[in-house]
Structure formats: C-alpha cells, structure tokens
Structure 1
Amino acid sequence: MSTRFSIEKLGAQGDGVAQTETGQVFIPFTLSGEVVTAARERNHDRATLMAVLEKSPLRIEPACRHFGDCGGCAMQHLEEAAYRDWKRDRLVQVLKGARIECEVDELVACAPHSRRRVTLSARRTDAGLLLGFNRHMSTQIVDLDECPIALPQIAGALDMLRELGSLICATSKAFHMTVTVTASGLDVAASGSGRMGERQRQIAANFAVRHGVARLSVDGEIIIEPQKPVVMFEAAAVPIPPGSFLQATQGAEQIMADLVGQHLARAKKVTDLFAGCGSFALRLAKKSEVHAVEGEAPALAALDRGFRYASGLKRVTTEKRDLFRRPLTFKELNAFDGLVFDPPRAGAQDQCRQIARSDVPLVAAVSCNPVTFARDLAILLAGGYRLIRVVPIDQFLWSPHVEAVALLEKPRKRR
C-alpha cells in the first residue's frame, strides 16, 4: 500500500527525508521539495518510491538506464551544481558537528567514465551469470550492460567479465569480482567464487589469456598472470599485488597527491602512514626522504619494488607495522618534519593521539569517511595543530561518499 509523502531535505546517504507523525521516513531517489508516493517497509523508517507526483526543478534524466534499480549510484537524478553543493555540505555539516570551524573548499569534481577499479557482485543462475551491483538495500544483483562511472576498459568488457565469472564460478552463492584497469591490462580478482577443479582452472586461464587479461586471481591465489599488473605513480611503476588497495580514480589520486606534495614540499624527511603501495610515498620521494609504514607486507613489497626500479627518487625506507595496534609514538615521529596519513574508513584515532603529541610541523590528513576524519582532526587541533585547508574530492561519483584532504601545521618547538 502506497502513501503520499512530502520530501523536506536530502539525508546523508542521498535519500529524500519526509517528516511524518511517527518520525522521519527515508525514500531513495527522491529530492527536496518533491511530493511522492512510496510504500513503507517493515522497519517503517524506509519506503520504496512508487511515483513522483510533483517533481523538483533540480531533477534531471539519469545518465544510466539501470539507475533506480542498481544500488551502485544514489544521485544521478540531481542536477550537477546542486549535487556538488550537497556533497560538499556533507563534509561541512560533519565538521560543524565536531565543532571544527573552518573554510571548506569547493568540491573537486569527478568525471564520468573515470573509475579504474570496481567491485562487482556475481551469481550463477539457470539463465546464466548475473554480474553487476546489488539493488538498493538488497542482496539481489542487477545485471549490468552499461556503467557510466567506470572506465571504458571496464564498461566495454562486461560481457567478457560475465563469461569469465561463469568459468571460475564453483558455488551457488554470490561472489565478488574486483576489476582494476592497469597499464598492463585488466586485473581481475575474484573472492568467494568457490574452489575450482584443475580442468576448470585451465579453461579459465586459457580464456583470460585469449582476452588479454593481465592477471586472474581467486581468493588471493594467482590463477594466471600473463603480464604483471602495473600502476604508474607518476614516474614509478608499481606491480600491485592481488586485492591491494588502490584509489578508485587516477584523477582523484593525482589531485590528493598534489595537495599533499605542495604542503610537504619544505619537509626533508617525511613519513607516510598507512602507505599502501606508495601512491603518496613514491611521489613525495621526488623531493624528500620518505619512511613508508604499512601493515600489509605485499603492499610494502610492491612499494619497495617500485622505488628500486624508479630513477631520480630520494631514499625510501619501509616498515611493516600495524598502526592500529602499535602506532608510531610521538618520539618516533619527531624524527620527521612532514607526515601524511591515509587510513581506512575506521580512521586513525590512536595514531592521531601520538601525532598530536609530536613536534612534526607539517601534517596532511587524507580520509574517505567524514565522521572519522572530523574525529581525528579534533584530536590534532587539541594537540596544537592549526588547520590550513580542507579540500573535499568527489572520487565516488553519484554516491554519498566523499574524500577529503586536510592540511595542518604546528610551530616547531625550540630545543
């Protein structure tokens, strides 16, 4: 049974929010000022859109035919300038909630067809393999035949990837295929697809070779690797390990690296915490000695190999360390005059407590989660750092997710 709702605002996840006698109701794919009909779900604070009775003047035609079914995007229906304002405001409001008063730059835009890395869901059915993203708030997979967020190398390979997925599938359950565009070709990493027999492995390997796949891996095991997947961090060619973290778009990565590099340009010795495969460390090494700290050994090995085969870089050292369990102490940090950290979504609370106690004069904070970003900044500000600049970056187009870079400084203590 459908109910009439008036949408008062957009929520943090991009859902339209309607006020009712029983509280707020969240309705995906609606906009502020619209009147809609929607069917309330069992938990009563969510509803499924049935029809838009009165449209917002900011409503536009979505870029993808799957929008509204596919849960990969939430905001294709909102006019571009309004979308950018909404996404920037997400960060502004979280910072205000943490009592951090600062100017926030305009949102750095993300172009369509720019995602170099996507994680697709897959499941075998009687009609063939479904490959795509889950339906909004559901485990049901929407089978894709286009994707305007992905690079053409991925979007144009969906049929091939669907066939490859059917060849490696050895389970009746849903599994994932992470596809990354590298300088060597597509890197395909499956997880949860089941244990393949030897003949199945050989058939899948032959298929991957015929279609120019650089590497096929399942649950971290390399099935075949005709070419080592390489990602360029400017002059450094880094052979990324299966399933390693990589920024979703090359453009956003470069913008973040430029902001960090400019801020730390005067630093002679820099530490890169949560360094991954070296997207910051190997760029910073053009001007500074860098100590890269990361908890994943394969990522560190890739970073080190990229450094050793690059030319014109200053010394880069590496340290395998779980920064959640054993953050660098403020005494260790005092050996550096510049620092960048880019933690997972959980943030870097304990590490920030040590940074706050340190004398490091220049700090760059990078985050994909505004909530933990604000919490970590508050720790640094309480420790005497001054916020110079905050830049929001739209790395995940048409989604509620926003990246942010904060640049901070602290006067050096006289010794």
Structure 2
Amino acid sequence: MQIERDGDRGTLVGVETPSADRVEAFCPHFGVCGGCQLQHLDRPFYESFKTGLVVAALEKAGLDVKSDRFVDASGRGRRRATLHARKEGAGYMRLRSHQVADIAHCPILVPELASRAPAIARAVEAVIGEADVAFTASDSGIDVAVRTQRRQARAERLMPLLGEFGLARLAMNGETLLQAQPPTLAIGRASVNLPVNAFLQATAAAEQTLGEYALAGIGKAKRVADLFCGVGTFAFRLAEQAQVTAFDSDRGAITALQQAARHASGLKTVTGFRRDLFRDPLTRFEFDGFDAVVLDPPRAGAMAQVEELCASKIGQVVMIACDAGTFARDAERLVQAGFTLRDLQIVDQFAWSTHVEIAATFTR
C-alpha cells in the first residue's frame, strides 16, 4: 500500500498487495466520491464489519448482545438522494472534501434516478446557480425539492424543468412551484400523498423489511403507539392488525398520514397527532392506553421518551434506529428498567456506506 500525506491525513495512491478481503469497486467514482466508502470489501467481510459497528456500540454500553441476522435491503437501489449542484458539476461531496465530485450516473440509486438525477441537478444550477437538490422516486414520478441560499435565485426559471424532465412535482425552499401530479407512495394498503421533503426509508426493500419486522414485533397487541411516525411507514402496516395512534413533530407528515388514513380501506383505525416527542414525550400515564410501542427516532435517539417508557407499564417495545451509538444508549436504559432485548436485526439499506439500520424488540 502506498500513501501520500495530506496535512494530517493519508491519501491512498496504490495497493501493492491487496487483502484477501478486498475486491474491485463496481463504481467508477469510488475513491473520489464520498458517497460510498466500503465498495472495496468482499461480502463476508462487509457484513461482518457493519454488524460489528452495532455489536461494539452495545458492548460499550455494557450489553452482551449478538446478531447473526443481516438483511440486505438495498433492493433496486436508493429511492431518495440529495445532490449538490455547483459550478464544478453535480454530485456528492468528494471524499474528505467540501468540493463536489461531478458524476453522470450513480449506480446505487434506483434506475429512475441513476442518470436523471445528476442531469436535473446540473440543469438546476444552470438556471439559478448553486443549490442542493433532493430527489424522491415516488409511485407517480420524480419529486424534486431545490434548496438554495442565493437571494437572487428566481423560482420562475426552474418551472420549465417540470415538463423538460417529466417531473411529478418541483419545489423550492419548501414551497411547491409546480405539480403535474401529486407524488404518491403506497404504504401497505394506504396511498400517501408525500409532503415536500418527506422523510422516507432510503429503499423500498428496507421499508418493507422494517414494516414486517414491526408488525411481527408487536405480537398480539391491539392498541399500538407509533412514535416518530413520519408519513406512516409503520402505522399503516401495524393497522392491519391493531388500532394505531401515531405521533410526529412534522406537520406535513401528520397531515399526509391523516389524509391517507381517511381514504384507506381494510385497516383498523389510524389516528395521527402532531407532537414534539423530544420536548413533550408521551408520559408514563398516557401509555396506559396502549399494549405496545413502535419507536423510530432520528439519529439523536429518544432518551426523553425512553425514560417515560421505562416508567410506564408497557411491556413490548419495537425500536428502529439509524445510529448505533444512540441505539445502544437507549437500549441500555430499557434493559436497566427491566426490559430484555430479545431480537436484534441489522437491515442494510445504506449499502456500501458506514450507516446501519437496526431493528430490535424489547419485552418485560
């Protein structure tokens, strides 16, 4: 291995004797683009490495929990991506840099976005200048949300892109500019009209896998609280067998969930409420009306909410987490309160990155 020094960092310039666990990366941008870091690992080593990230975090928290359930949930590719559009091109940031790696094709995205997303991002930069462009491949077409800090950016210059690229919707700085048709997504038996910048699981395969896990994890519960529910990723699947009360701080997400619930058929009642679960978590007394809880917090975890869960009479918690460190912290607290971590599954939707998705069931 040959390394050049770049300040306090080393830059790989060549591999003289490759490891037995090393393979050729499939993306021509690997090593330049910072979007993927692990394409050079063979499959067994890759899965072991990502599982180890979770196990190490749990061990640091004093929990001796192993997982041999690693699910490849990359599916058709990621259906969400944000590209940076700059003068030097459109793509993700370069490895260890604030400069953009210009790409024409991203092989980890779904086919609908792989080549079109970079082309659309370049077209955005051409008419309004530097911007970040978020893409979602919805069931009804590509949803594009542009964010820019350029005060002179004129929204009307973007409008021709709707027809030029056949977009479902075009938004700028959180406001819809034009919409050919509402971007929709089927979640279980419901169809959800997506709000601008809606949070979704990165791949459809991961959403399906995690939804099925949550449904199995609640067991025979008849009344379920879905915390940090988003647009209903879990709520509409849980409602196939239980009444669901869903909470999230995002007004647009709750509105979309409520609208979808009104039109869905074949489901038990789904009720949505807007609530900031960081500042105003459900109390131990409010949990008296539920048999189980599904918890899907952001990277910061949900310590305030976990404290109330620990003090409640709830005996079944399914946690979905996207950060190993905060998951381990929250899991440790649940275990201290008498819960047992009975199942741990690694769901790999952010393929070839160091990010992991974790699904776990706690009972007491």
TM range (shorter): over 0.9
Question: What fraction of aligned residue pairs are identical, expressed as a percent?
Answer: 37
Alignment of 1:88 with 2:51, yes or no, is: yes
Unpaired segments of 5 or more residues in structure 2?
Answer: none
- Root-mean-square deviation (CA, aligned residues, Å) is 1.5
Of 96, 103, 106 in structure 1, the residue corresponding to residue 66 of structure 2 is 103
CA distance in 2, matches of 1:124, 1:267: 54
Q: Aligned in 2, Cα 1:405/1:206: closer, same or farther, shift over 3 Å?
A: same
Q: Within 5 Å, give how 1:35-54 maps onto structure 2.
A: 36-42=1-7, 44=8, 46-54=9-17
2:34 alignment partner in structure 1: 71
1:56 alignment partner in structure 2: 19
Shift of residue 166, structure 1, vs aligned partner:
2.7
Alignment of 1:285 with 2:285, yes or no, is: no
Q: Within 5 Å, give how 1:44-193 maps onto structure 2.
A: 44=8, 46-111=9-74, 113-125=76-88, 130-158=89-117, 160-170=119-129, 174-192=130-148
Of 221, 237, 242 in structure 1, the residue corresponding to residue 175 of structure 2 is 221
Aligned amino acid, residue 179 of structure 1: F
Aligned amino acid, residue 90 of structure 1: L
2:305 alignment partner in structure 1: 351
Shift of residue 39, structure 1, vs aligned partner:
2.2
Of 214, 218, 243 in structure 1, the residue corresponding to residue 197 of structure 2 is 243
Answer whether contact 2:84 2:121 (CA < 8 A) is retained. no
CA distance in 2, matches of 1:237, 1:203: 32
- Mean Cα displacement is larger for which, 105-114 or 270-279? 105-114
Greater relative contact order (CA < 8 Å, ≥ 6 in sequence): 2
Unpaired segments of 5 or more residues in structure 1?
Answer: 1-35, 411-415
Of 287, 296, 299 in structure 1, the residue corresponding to residue 253 of structure 2 is 299
2:308 is paired with a residue of what secondary structure? helix
Question: After superposition, what is the alpha-carbon deviation per residue over 1:110-159, rounded to whole angstroms, capped at 9, x for unaligned?
Answer: 3464100011111135xxxx110100111110111121110000013145
TM-score by length of 1: 0.85
Answer whether contact 2:136 2:144 (CA < 8 A) is retained. yes
Answer whether contact 1:167 1:203 (CA < 8 A) is retained. no
1:143 is paired with a residue of what secondary structure? coil
Number of residue equivalences: 364
Question: After superposition, what is the alpha-carbon deviation per residue over 1:158-193, rounded to whole angstroms, capped at 9, x for unaligned?
Answer: 4541343135524xxx43111110011000111125
TM-score by length of 2: 0.96
2:277 is paired with a residue of what secondary structure? coil
Aligned amino acid, residue 5 of structure 2: R
Question: After superposition, what is the alpha-carbon deviation per residue over 1:366-410, rounded to whole angstroms, capped at 9, x for unaligned?
Answer: 100000000000111111111110101111000000000110112
Instruction: Find runs of 4+ consecutive structure 1 residues off by over 4 angstroms.
Output: none
